[in-house]
Structures are given as C-alpha cells and as structure tokens.
Amino acid sequence: MLSAQPRTESLAEDTAPRTDLTGRLSRWLGLALVVLLGTLLVWVLFETWIQVLLSTPVEDAEGNLLADGPDWPKSVKNGLYFLLLAVTLVKITVDRRWRDFLTPADIALVVLGVVLVLAGIFGDSPVKLIGEAGWVYLRGVIVFYGWRAADPSRKHVRTVLVVVGAVVGVNAAIAIWQTLAGPATYQDLGWINMTWARINRAHALLDHPNHLGHLLALTMLGIFAYMASRAKTHWRWWVAFVLLAIALSATQSRESTLGFVAGVAVICFLRRAKWAAASIAVVIVLGFAGAQLAVSPENRAELARRLAGVASAFDLPSGAEGDDACVETRTDCGDDREKIPEREVRVLYAQQGVELWLKRPLLGYGVGQFGGIVAYEHDPLWYQDSRFGPEGFRLYGSNEKQVDSFWLHLLVETGALGALAYLAWLFLLIAPLVRAVWRRGAAVHPFAWWAAAAMTFAVLVACLAPSLEDPLFPAQLFTILGLAWVWWKRGTLVSSGSAVESERTEERE
C-alpha cells in the first residue's frame, strides 16, 4: 500500500477547518506559487541569451570573442528564487502543514546543510563564502518545496508544462536549424562566442550544447514515461519524440545521450514492460546521434580528439609528465622539449581531485574553494591555492577555469561526509516514489517513472558536468521530483489513464 491515503482534493484543502478568508488566501498563495515556478522555469531558459543580446564583445588572451553582459538577468533569477522561498513559507504557515515537511528526505536535507557548513568551517571558508556555496549547491531545492507547498491542480500543472514545453520546442527547432544552416545562424541569434559553431554543436538559446542536451533528454524521458503508462500511444507523441531526438543529436551531448538511455532502462525496469518501445526509442536516439557524426566532419574530429585524449590521460596520468613537457600539437613545442600527446582534462582533473581528497578525506577543503562557479567568482585564481599542490591545481592549458564534474567539486570541497550526505538525501528523495511504483506496477502516474529516470539521469550526468549546481538543471529536476511528490502525498500516484486501467477497460469492451 502507499504511505498516503487517496485524496480527491489538494492537501491544502484537507487541513483543519479554516475561515473562508484563510481558505481564499491559501488558494491565491498556491496560484502565486505556480505562477512564480512557471516564470522561473521559463526565465532560466532565456537568461544567458538575454545577457548575450545586451552584452559587449570582449576579446580574451587567445583572441576569442566573449560576451561581457549585464548582471541584472541573474539578479532577476535570484529574486525569483527568494520570492518563491518567501511565498512557500507563508503558504505552509497559512495551511498549517509543517508536519508534512518532516519526512526523512527533509531531515536529510538539514543534515546535508550542517555538513556543508562544517566543511566550510574546517576548510577555513569565510562565512559569506559558505553562504554563497550553500546557495548554489541547494537553491534548486526551493523549487521542490515550492511545488509541494503549492499542491497545484492538474489544470495548473498542465498549463505550466505546455508553456515550458513550447519553449523546449522552440529550442529544438533552432538547434535543428543551426546544425543544417551552419555558423551564420548562431550569429543571427546574437551569439558572440563561436566555439560551438566551429565544431557544429548546436545550443539554440542556451549557452552550452550540454545544457540544451540536458533539457531535451529530460523532456524525452518525460514523453517516454507518458507513453510507457498507456496501453496505446497516439502517433503524435512519437513524432514529438523523434523531433527532439534530432535536436539532441544536433547538440552532440554524449553525456545527455547516455543519461537518456539509462533513464529509459529505469522506466522499463519499474514498469516491468515496454522493452520493445524502449528499444525503438534508444535506436532512434543513437541512430540520429550516429547520423550527425556521419555527416559532420567537425563532430567526428572532435569525438576522435576526445577519445584519444581519454586514452592518453590513462597512459600518462596527471603528475607523470616531466616539468618541461609540451603537448605535441602545440605550435610552440620545440624539439628540445619533451613531447606528450594531448590528454583529456576531465580525466586529469579527476586524477588530481582523488589525490587531493585522499589527503583530506572527511570534510575536504571547504565549500566554495575548489573548481566551481563560486570558487571562481570568489577568486579567479583559486587553482593557485598551495593546498592543492606545490604549483596549485594544474589546469593543463584549459581556457576554462572551472572543473566540470559536480561530484568532484563536492568530494574535494566537503569530503566523504559531504558526498555521502548528498547521496543519502537524493536516495531519500526518490526511494518513496520507487517503492510506490514497484508495489503498484503499471498503475501509477507517469510522473513517478519520470522522477526515477530523471534522478538516474542527474546522478550520471553530474559525473561529467556541474549540472546539479548550474543555473538550469536543478530547476528542471526538482520540478519533476516536486510534482511526483505532490501526487505521492495525495495518494494519487495511481493514474486514471494508466496502462493497466486502459487494458482492463479494453478487456471489458
């Protein structure tokens, strides 16, 4: 049985008797939360593009043009988060629902917060830096609690999904256009940095192909979860899926593709069926990704370079090169210097990071001090910290002054205690949904399967990207989790349109 009893009304309507004024206030606060959440979800998808449109081109040391944009779009986003937090707290107070927010996952979040603070204290992080790092690590949680507090109707959820889905569709169309028409299309949209255009990786209105890949893959997992919940699927859902798969291939986001395949496998495992549909979906995604490689020499060259770099990084790990070593592909690598092959910096960073962690395994080096956006904004030369080695943390000539892997950030900054606390929190977020899904089989709401797949996707992608602390991904992930929790807490994870019910209806007919 599910741990919550079925309800036909929202949780807010099932509390102690209230005056009409209080009930009306609660409804208006719930509507305000839905509007704020929808606005935030749309805003984060346009934020970087707006900044670029309003920016001034600046040339870096390597001659690349970069965008020097205003900060107010970021301030708007942070303002939406703070306003969302305030309205959420007021809504919970008006509804007198504090006990609903004392689940094991909620307690685990408090424990995680304490561990982050302890890691900062023992790592000599200033108080302000601890606050900034904690904000970046956990701001997505505000979205999760916002949806739980709002307890929205299906109509309101559908409206938000349609609006966000339309934005996703626009980005998908632009990505396909970019990969067909070439670099001029990037400039037509106002983009200044042509790094991705030169290797034919589309990013539409987002600033990185992987960001677009994450968005598309999560959306495709939602579509597949919906299709897996039905006995029969209308052809238009497959059309939408195929178009998104084409756009995903245009990004050439390999981490997103692999995460999608893993998420589909999780949906089918919990559904205990639909393996044929999953096989078709995976073939479509991998087929378009392969076709993109086949027709794009730039993509093939980039993939070959990255794969060769991974092999070279294992053959010659970080620290094994000589002091006078020089990458053989560089034009200034003279005959009198030791020539080494180009190596994948993600592997080199991971090798260094593990060595650092072994020296301070419990609480790490302090939040906000290693590799992330907070560390960079606090000190652009963070990598020169003597605690990271005699010469600091070696970037190996990378133009990026940040470390991609979220898990590497977390492990080095907060140690094993921080990483375990974070993983335990994620486990407790998804465990009740997985238990409910497993017990009820196919007769569950698609959001439950989508949440499980999205969590799998998030954990895997965070190995290669700072996704769980970036401005985009957490809002998307915690929307999926928050809505799944809403239906779980109502006891309505059983879907009125589920595959099992549809199959029974067909048998009766």
The Cα 236–Cα 116 span in angstroms is: 46
Average pLDDT over residues 268-278: 91
The pTM score is 0.90
**Residue-wise pLDDT tens digits, 345-355:** 999 999 999 99
Q: 327 vs 320, 341, 349, CA distance in Å?
A: 14, 6, 17
Of 191, 155, 156, the residue nearest 175 (C-alpha): 191
Chain mean position to CA 346: 18
The answer to whether 437 touches 229, Cβ cutoff 8 Å, is: no
> Among the ranges 59-73, 380-394, 451-465, which has the highest mean pLDDT value?
451-465
The answer to whether 52 touches 207, Cβ cutoff 8 Å, is: yes
Structure tokens of 127? 């108080």
Angle between helices 104-122 and 127-138 (to 10 degrees): 150
The Cα 113–Cα 491 span in angstroms is: 29
Burial 286-314, CB ≥16 within 10 A → b, else e: bebbeebbeebeebeebeeeeeebeebbe
More reliable by pLDDT, 219 or 504 = 219
**Residue-wise pLDDT tens digits, 110-142:** 999 999 999 999 999 999 999 999 999 999 999
**Residue-wise pLDDT tens digits, 403-424:** 989 999 999 999 999 999 999 9
**Residue-wise pLDDT tens digits, 8-39:** 444 444 444 456 888 899 999 999 999 999 99
Report DSSP letters for 222-253, one per residue. Answer: HHHHHHHTSSS--HHHHHHHHHHHHHHHHHT-
Percent of the chain past pLDDT 70, that is, above it, reads 89
The Cα 420–Cα 444 span in angstroms is: 30
